[in-house]
Structure 1
Amino acid sequence: MATAIPSSIDQVSELLGQADYVADRSLATVLFLSLKMGRPLFLEGEAGVGKTEIAKVLATTLDRPLVRLQCYEGLDVGSAVYEWNYARQMIEIRLAEATGGADRQQLGKDIFSQDFLVKRPLLTALEPSPRGAPVLLIDELDRTDEPFEAYLLEVLSDFQITIPEIGTIKAEEPPIVIVTSNRTREIHDALKRRCLYHWVDYPDAERELAILRLKVPGADKRLSQEIVSFIQKLRTDAELFKLPGIAETIDWTQALTQLDVMSLDPGVINDTLGVLLKYQDDIAKIQGSEAAALLDEVQTDMAAAPK
């Protein structure tokens, strides 16, 4: 049996905490409302801030199947919803012809039945499950095009899919739907209106440090503080093409721990910036004097902070 839906905002926070996801109050609130109202949740924000992880955590903590639709340019109904098993249909037709006297009208109905349907993520998410309705993750919707967005309107508003040869298939129990976007383009208002909305921002220093201590518990305490302070300054003071997200914070901390680093210094930062930053222009801008200056500010602030 699936875990019951939380009955309060605090219970949602506790549920996320069971999987080491540190959520602020506003995220826990909108997630609670999404679960209680049965509405899809549209999460927008920069890459690496933890949007996708929310769906994974929900599936784990609620003991529900996770159905993931990874979006990309050119995604179509055949890849996202369903397609017919044409090879099996052809075999069925040949067998009917070989036996002779096949009723063409009946044969047409037979080969366009659910037995010949190949179910893709969206259709799979509408099927009943002994573990309860699945968590449907529609990830990085902004990578698709507007026609596919339009197709999703029926799914997100009525939790149903219309197949011309069969009819309408409706979910007995609506899935828990999480839609994410990195905002590389604007998503149409018609789709947003069918969802509750939340902007997932970069965490503040306190929350980022709490996340780091959960995700990389073996890291030195002072090193973790230096890393968080350095990255917070990168986000606010450095004009970068792509700011590092919490995913990069975790990766960098794990990398430095593997190198047995106990404290940041300019040399270590320069050597490992490729873990933290993913564009050469950003790396070139920070390497050398800029990294040393930021680190000096970090260490000055930490020295002046009350013990």
Structure 2
Amino acid sequence: MAALPASIDDTIAMLAKQDYVCGRALGTVAFLSLKLGKPLFLEGEAGTGKTEIAKALAHSLGRRLIRLQCYEGLDVSSALYEWNFTAQMVAIRTAEAAGEADRTSLQTELFSPDYLIKRPLLEALEPHPEGPPVLLIDELDRTDEPFEAFLLEALSDFQVTIPELGTIKAGEPPIVILTSNRTREVHDALKRRCLYHWVDYPQFEREVEILKARLPECTEKLTREVVAFVQALRGEDLFKNPGVAETIDWARCLIALDAVAITPDVVADTLGALLKYQDDIAKITGSETARLLDEAHAQLLAE
């Protein structure tokens, strides 16, 4: 288990070793979250690296990453715990066949930890040999307000109550990262218990750094052309702008095709790596592609 970083610069350097390139603002809030033991709430467009920072922290600190992927209809049993009803029924049938009639002892056995299925939140509260885990609560905005209210209680004291077993409290609180793509507003009460940071699309040089870190085999020329085109693309009126994840995917496609430069034909053949909606793809064809390439080349000349 690695020690927590001692400064903002150490935090940025630690993340950089995991190929996660971040600015000082994000590095500062990540350091403070670790230092103060407060949850970190990251909000921003999809594909800007919110989830990746949790992975980078877990790897760099040598901690287990526990991920709770949120979705519409997520309830407490799916996030916290549930009983293994199949195993309980087998135990009941076995007891009946053996003639064991002590219902009190049987009930105590059935609702013991042996029959408990632990979900991410409960796992995160338990002790781990490598130290408190990194708990990633991903895309919180996909859930509903009742689940938010439950999280509010769970993250305030880092404890939960299981009626059959009692209260379970974390000896050491986990490192908590919450993310939101802002498809809806998350309640202020939850945000107030966290440190907050808006993760925006990176500026040109920062995105070049990210691409170099993730794809060192990509040439300098192609790297800069890719980033310049993607940044020009983000200036268009699209339903969904490409994130950094799409930039990396597109560069991988170009490398796989042995492309040495970006041309209108190359863009047309690989646009599905950047844009995920047909209406957006239909906008970026023919003369539009040429215009965006001209903008990208102009940006490269200006850099």
TM bin, normalised by shorter chain, reads over 0.9
1:278 to 268, 276, 279: 276
TM-superposed CA distance for 1:257, in Å, is: 1.2
1:93 aligns with 2:92: yes
| Paired position in structure 2 for 1:54 | 53
| Paired position in structure 2 for 1:247 | 245
Q: Secondary structure of the equivalent of 2:262?
A: coil
- Which aligned pairs between 1:1-307 and structure 2 lie closer than 5 A? 2-100=1-99, 102-236=101-235, 238-303=236-301, 305=303
Q: Secondary structure of the equivalent of 1:87?
A: helix
Task: Indicate the percent of aligned positions where both proteins have the same amino acid.
Answer: 66
When normalised by structure 2's length, the TM-score is 0.96
Once the two structures are overlaid, the 10-residue window that deviates more, 200-209 or 254-263, is 254-263
Q: Secondary structure of the equivalent of 1:129?
A: coil
- What amino acid is aligned across from residue 264 of structure 1 in structure 2? I
Q: Secondary structure of the equivalent of 2:200?
A: coil
Distance in 2 separating the partners of 1:304 and 1:165: 66
Distance in 2 separating the partners of 1:224 and 1:241: 25
Residues 23, 300 of structure 1: alpha-carbon distance in 2 compared, 3 angstrom cutoff: closer
TM-superposed CA distance for 1:106, in Å, is: 3.2
Distance in 2 separating the partners of 1:180 and 1:304: 35
User: What does the per-residue CA deviation read over 1:45-97, in whole Å, with 9 as the maximum and x for residues that have no partner?
Assistant: 11100000001111100000111111111112222110011122223333433
Distance in 1 separating the partners of 2:226 and 2:163: 55
Distance in 2 separating the partners of 1:300 and 1:220: 19
Structure 2: gaps of 5 or more residues: none
Root-mean-square deviation (CA, aligned residues, Å) is 1.4
Once the two structures are overlaid, the 10-residue window that deviates more, 238-247 or 256-265, is 256-265
Q: Secondary structure of the equivalent of 1:211?
A: helix
TM-superposed CA distance for 1:99, in Å, is: 4.2
User: What does the per-residue CA deviation read over 1:198-238, in whole Å, with 9 as the maximum and x for residues that have no partner?
Assistant: 111000001000111111111121111111111112212x1
User: What does the per-residue CA deviation read over 1:163-222, in whole Å, with 9 as the maximum and x for residues that have no partner?
Assistant: 112111011111111111111111111211121111110000010001111111111211
User: What does the per-residue CA deviation read over 1:109-149, in whole Å, with 9 as the maximum and x for residues that have no partner?
Assistant: 22212121111111111111110011111111111111111
Structure 1: gaps of 5 or more residues: none
TM-superposed CA distance for 1:101, in Å, is: 5.9
Residues 304, 191 of structure 1: alpha-carbon distance in 2 compared, 3 angstrom cutoff: closer
TM-superposed CA distance for 1:8, in Å, is: 0.7
Distance in 2 separating the partners of 1:201 and 1:266: 28
TM-superposed CA distance for 1:304, in Å, is: 5.4
Once the two structures are overlaid, the 10-residue window that deviates more, 240-249 or 296-305, is 296-305
Paired residues, what number?
303
Distance in 2 separating the partners of 1:301 and 1:129: 49
Distance in 2 separating the partners of 1:300 and 1:195: 41
- What amino acid is aligned across from residue 243 of structure 2 in structure 1? G
Distance in 2 separating the partners of 1:8 and 1:49: 24
Q: Secondary structure of the equivalent of 2:234?
A: helix
- What amino acid is aligned across from residue 105 of structure 2 in structure 1? Q
